[in-house]
Amino acid sequence: KQEVTQIPAALSVPEGENLVLNCSFTDSAIYNLQWFRQDPGKGLTSLLLIQSSQREQTSGRLNASLDKSSGRSTLYIAASQPGDSATYLCAPDNAGNMLTFGGGTRLMVKP
């Protein structure tokens, strides 16, 4: 059974900092891995999807990397802004659209 851990559970940084969110998973036989953002009281928004054959994926100030063999993914956020404050969730897919979610990292970016 896939288990997903996200570290840190919470993070508070001043605006402008570059930061890294970590995700580890126990079963490396994945199809892909997705990173999501969740604002308080809202649904999830997909940020990036990395296929198992890829090493990284970029979208704007976000860069996600994947090391499938070691069961790790990182989400790098450059030049953080208060609008980035949210909970970030990673979710590897082991069976074709069957996601297992981590507990999330709750990010606060202070002006």
Partner 1 sequence: IAGITQAPTSQILAAGRRMTLRCTQDMRHNAMYWYRQDLGLGLRLIHYSNTAGTTGKGEVPDGYSVSRANTDDFPLTLASAVPSQTSVYFCASSQRGQETQYFGPGTRLLVL
Interacting residues with partner 1 (CB under 8 A) = 31-32, 34, 36, 42-46, 49, 89, 91, 93, 96-99, 101-104
Closest to partner 1 by CB, 75 vs 91, is 91
* Rg over CA atoms, the chain: 13
Nearer to partner 1, 40 or 111 (CB): 40
- Minimum distance of partner 1 from residue 49's CB (angstroms): 5
Specify which residues 7 forms β-bridges with. 22
CB of 43 to partner 1, least distance (A): 4
Contact, 30 vs 23, CB < 8 A?
Answer: no
How many whole angstroms separate alpha carbon 68 and alpha carbon 53?
A: 9
Answer whether 32's CB lies under 8 Å from 50's CB.
Answer: yes
**Nearest CB to partner 1, comparing residues 80 and 87:** 87
